[in-house]
Amino acid sequence: MLRKRNLFVVKQHLAVLIRSLTSTEVSSALRPFYFSVHPDLFGQHPKERAINETSLQQLSSVLQSLQTAKYLPPVTLPFYIKNRNNQHEAARLIKIYLKGRDLASAIVNILKACDLPTNHVQQYIKAEPQRATGFQTENIRQDGDEWIRVKYQNEYDFTKLNKNHPLYATFVMQQKMKEARGALRDGAHVGNIKALFRLKQWLELHFEDALAKATSGSASKEEIQRLKVEMIEKSKLKDIRWECGWNSQHFRGCLLSLKSLMEQHPQHMRQLEDQILVFSYFTGISLDGHLMLFSGEVRHNWLDFIKNIRKHKLALARVPFYEKSLSHVLRNIKVSRRKFMPDMKVSEYEINLKQLTTAVSDYFGRNSHPKNWPNSMDHYEIVVESEAGPMMVSPTGQFIVPSSIPGPLLINFISTNFDDANERIDHYKKDKVMEKSLHRRCMEELHLAALLKDDNITPELMIQFCQKLVDHKTDLESVIKGEGAVLSMGPHTLPVPTALFALNRQRLADALKKTAPDSVVLLQGGEEVSFYDTDTTYNVFRQESYFMWAFGVTEAGCFGAVDVKTGESYLFIPRLPEEYAVWMGPLPKTNDYAKKYDIKKVFYVDELEVELGRLQRAKILTLKGVNSDSGLTAKPATFEGIEKFSVDDEALFPVIASLRVCKTELEIRVIKYVVAVSSYAHRQVMKQIRPGNYEYQGESQFLNACYEKGGCRHVSYTCICGSGPNGAILHYGHAGAPNDSPIKNGDMCLFDMGANYFGYAADITCSFPANGKFTADQKLIYEAVLRATLAVHSAAKPGVSWVDMHVLANRVVLEDLKKGGLLKGSVDEMLEAGLSAVFQPHGLGHLLGLDVHDVGGYLPGQPQRPQQVGVNKLRTARVLEKGMVLTVEPGCYFIDPLLDKALADPALKKFLVPEAIERFRNFGGVRIEDDVLITEHGVEDLTKVPRTVQDIEGWMDGRLDESQFRDPERLFVF
């Protein structure tokens, strides 16, 4: 996260602190100036008097900003100055140019512009401050010079944020920096602070803290999300947002206060329906129409506002009228908001807008526009602010004006600054393009999980910062990656932070504290299995999924333990004979595993009994439970000496399986990557496969693309590459039918394949005509399935039953088959009779994660498997939740045994049109399978392949290119 103060310190490489001057000291230092420009000196000169009055108001605001150490954009203030010693001397116009954040320099500049002495200013600026607002200071003396050691101390320090801070990003920047450990020895010169405050050192110091806070903050984030969803549903709000910094506990407290208010005053909460509610720094309605609640107020003030929302909305309704009036009188200038600034309260803005509109209208009632005034001002923007605000052209080219500015001064200001505004507008547009480009470079070259910025960071500042990151990427890369805390298959592949697995372990410990607080979890990783009686193994080892979820360790023969009470993690690795080094290369030691997986406590497997004994926990929790897809039981961990411990093999399974259902943001990022890789590989297969090829060539092309471009050494399941009638074989590609048929002209291809990256699976099916052109029958079936897919995408969201989505997809397919002349009768009766299972004998989809058919489909406390025909094949009947990743895979197949059985069953035969059915006997089938993420409000389709008939044909004949399907987050770049 980039904030302005960070960039300032990084840019300057050092911190120089001078304490803030008091308001009294500022007034005393500027007394000669005030005596020279006081409006009373210009009683006979109304124009000069008005200008000085306005400029003094603006100067007051400027000085107030500088006293609070805010950065001041460039501002020019006009003043008429008169010599008090000679009242007959004509007044002269001066312009005072101010910028930056140094109050003392601003005072000196003001006095110098008026040719006034500045010597007296120094008495107000003390060289040896003992205390400075917001900082701890210490005096240092060297070579006769006085310097200050700076230590930041307040709540904005990232390393002092609440322990439940919920950020997940591997790379996070906060507003202020903590003093470096052991640096700046006694007697060091302040110039040495340059090295102290460089970005690299700061990241090195606080990387572990950031990851620890990210890990420990998951429970808080989940509770906040739960509260948000609960309150949105209860009050029918559109959304609840937080714009008060990063303090998650404060957000949680505000949500609980609002919840209490809703429960105590339900009669007033109808006012919240269909609104966006924002916790902010004021209470009122924003210019965007959002309901703003000041996070620092008591609930009664919120209630008073909610009761009177309609009155506030009237003000919002009047604002467009005033904006239109001001725009019209200034020849269609755009009345806008200042970019990169906080939102405004509509009641205050209405007053400001009305004041300026009246002044400008009065002026043009008596005067015409200047000669250089364009016929249309729609290229320009004006921003109306409070009475004491500055008058300036912003860095983005906007005219920033206070509402109290007189009409003549406003028109003069705008007309004399057209060239400046045009130049800044052009510069801003170029900066936006460059910012986007540099941001993308930073994300790609430094492998960042996120690079965020505050709303007040301009493109110019972001460009400077991103350029520094790119310039110093060699130095920063190891720090950002966390010195071995990232797993990947190479620089062109996605870095997977070990924080992903640390977070899972923390979630597991937190969940078990409720039921088994005095226990330790013990998981056993997978073992390499020999190929029958040979000394070779089955393919390349792939880790057991539960162990991978918790530890991310890719090697075989390991154990992992999590102390529920403390959250501490332990890894146990096999002690391999030294002679293995001849065949396997250098044998990693415990410290190598500790560095690679960022687990501090690593031992050998033969030390399990001793180390677990040291923990002295009441029981060991091992994993034992039935997989609802396979019917097989997870293998409990066992080791020599386990009989000496009290072992519980029942408590762990439902908890850990349930935690795997909803993915963390870090897991979602990996899934998005592997789906992007798989999508790319599918597109390549569609582009290359043609009649005359063999099905296995499609499989070969897919495997090559996934491994070569995405580093995916594994696929998640046996590739299914069926063409023609083979498309009706649901799990085609097995040893008895190994994708070995020739692909014929006119065949429909059904290719179901998914890559695997560090355990996480993709599962995508593409159906397309082998020759690139759909026949009428192929188009009929394909578009029926596509319509079913899109119907589910539109309807699925948190709170919706997956069973209902299955029935919805079945209904859409049956409706289109009826329209196409294959079926007749009532679709409702078809569904009741179970006819849909004839054409789609499988469920709509399944959970997706570390297993392609991921766990958690049927757990205690969740809906159990339905019994009626069709829905009884579902791999889960759960209600959808945010964070679930599932496949949506409706299909329509013409499977001879099922068709024959239906035609022989009077209850089903009455719906079939036999002659039409016969026409499709050798058709095969169509399946469209997307990998989707359930978001807060619906579905995000992660799959990027051609889906419509037009897109498939356009892709296969070259009319569409890769730009149509690129990964929007640029996780996978090929």
Residue 802 banded pLDDT, cuts 50, 70, 90: very high
- pLDDT over 90 for what percent of the chain? 48
Angle between helices 459-471 and 418-445 (to 10 degrees): 30
The whole-number pLDDT of residue 209 equals: 67
Kindly tell me if the per-residue pLDDT of 711 is higher than 90.
yes
Residue 199 banded pLDDT, cuts 50, 70, 90: low
The residue extents of the domains of the chain are 20-124, 218-307, 312-416, 496-659, 665-964
Tell me the average pLDDT across 323-339. 88
What are the pLDDT digits (tens) for 432-490? 899 888 888 888 777 776 777 766 677 888 888 888 788 776 656 555 554 446 889 98
Tell me if 496-659 shares its fold with 665-964.
no
The whole-number pLDDT of residue 178 equals: 35
Tell me the average pLDDT across 252-267. 87
Kindly tell me if the per-residue pLDDT of 318 is higher than 80.
yes
Q: Give the Cα-Cα-Cα angle 967, 971, 974 (nearest 5 degrees).
A: 75
Kindly tell me if the per-residue pLDDT of 335 is higher than 80.
yes
For residue 197, give both structure tokens: 């405050």
Kindly tell me if the per-residue pLDDT of 194 is higher than 60.
no
Kindly tell me if the per-residue pLDDT of 270 is higher than 90.
no
Kindly tell me if the per-residue pLDDT of 327 is higher than 50.
yes
Question: Which whole-number Å values give the CA distances from 301 to 342, 495, 585, in the listed order?
Answer: 21, 48, 69
- pLDDT over 70 for what percent of the chain? 82
Kindly tell me if the per-residue pLDDT of 160 is higher than 90.
no
Kindly tell me if the per-residue pLDDT of 275 is higher than 70.
yes
Tell me the average pLDDT across 898-908. 97
Lowest mean pLDDT among 112-126, 291-305, 364-378, 850-864: 112-126
In 3D space, the residue among 935, 903, 934, 938 whose CA is nearest the CA of residue 918 turns out to be 903
The whole-number pLDDT of residue 794 equals: 96
Top pLDDT among 231 and 190 is at 231
What's the rounded Cα separation, in Å, for the pair 133 and 69?
Answer: 10
Burial class (CB in 10 A: 0-12, 13-18, 19+), 185: exposed
Residues in contact with 321: Cβ distance below 8 Å, sequence separation at least 6, in sequence order:
none
Torsions phi, psi for 429 (to 5 deg): -60, -45
Kindly tell me if the per-residue pLDDT of 1 is higher than 70.
no
What's the rounded Cα separation, in Å, for the pair 524 and 362?
Answer: 82
What are the pLDDT digits (tens) for 202-250? 665 666 666 666 666 667 777 888 888 888 888 888 889 887 765 677 7
Residue 100 banded pLDDT, cuts 50, 70, 90: confident
Residue 862 banded pLDDT, cuts 50, 70, 90: very high
The whole-number pLDDT of residue 5 equals: 34
Burial class (CB in 10 A: 0-12, 13-18, 19+), 654: middle
The whole-number pLDDT of residue 175 equals: 33
Q: Give the Cα-Cα-Cα angle 363, 364, 369 (nearest 5 degrees).
A: 120
The whole-number pLDDT of residue 216 equals: 64
Eight-class DSSP state of 949: H
The whole-number pLDDT of residue 498 equals: 93
The whole-number pLDDT of residue 29 equals: 82
Kindly tell me if the per-residue pLDDT of 126 is higher than 70.
no
Topology (CATH level 3) of domain 496-659: Creatine Amidinohydrolase; Chain A, domain 1 (3.40.350)
Topology (CATH level 3) of domain 665-964: Creatine Amidinohydrolase (3.90.230)
Kindly tell me if the per-residue pLDDT of 122 is higher than 90.
no
Residues in contact with 266: Cβ distance below 8 Å, sequence separation at least 6, in sequence order:
none
The whole-number pLDDT of residue 161 equals: 32
Top pLDDT among 20 and 904 is at 904
The whole-number pLDDT of residue 197 equals: 36
Top-ranked range on mean pLDDT: pick from 184-188, 283-287, 543-547: 543-547
Tell me the average pLDDT across 239-268. 83
Torsions phi, psi for 902 (to 5 deg): -70, -40
Residue 527 banded pLDDT, cuts 50, 70, 90: very high
Tell me the average pLDDT across 926-942. 96
This prediction has a pTM of 0.58
The whole-number pLDDT of residue 894 equals: 98
Residue 692 banded pLDDT, cuts 50, 70, 90: very high
The whole-number pLDDT of residue 147 equals: 34
Lowest mean pLDDT among 82-86, 456-460, 703-707: 82-86
Mean pLDDT of the chain: 83
Residue 47 banded pLDDT, cuts 50, 70, 90: confident
**Bridge pairing between strands 239-242 and 559-563:** unpaired
Kindly tell me if the per-residue pLDDT of 127 is higher than 60.
no
> CA end-to-end span of the chain, whole Å?
27
Residue 150 banded pLDDT, cuts 50, 70, 90: very low
Residue 63 banded pLDDT, cuts 50, 70, 90: confident
The whole-number pLDDT of residue 404 equals: 81
With beta carbons less than 8 A apart as the criterion, state whether 637 and 608 touch. Answer: no
The whole-number pLDDT of residue 254 equals: 86
Residue 137 banded pLDDT, cuts 50, 70, 90: very low
Kindly tell me if the per-residue pLDDT of 610 is higher than 60.
yes
What are the pLDDT digits (tens) for 744-779? 999 999 999 999 999 999 999 999 999 999 999 999
Helix or strand holding residue 496 (H, E): strand 496-497
What are the pLDDT digits (tens) for 906-921? 999 999 999 999 999 9
SS3 933: strand
**Bridge pairing between strands 291-294 and 276-280:** parallel
SS3 900: helix
The whole-number pLDDT of residue 24 equals: 61
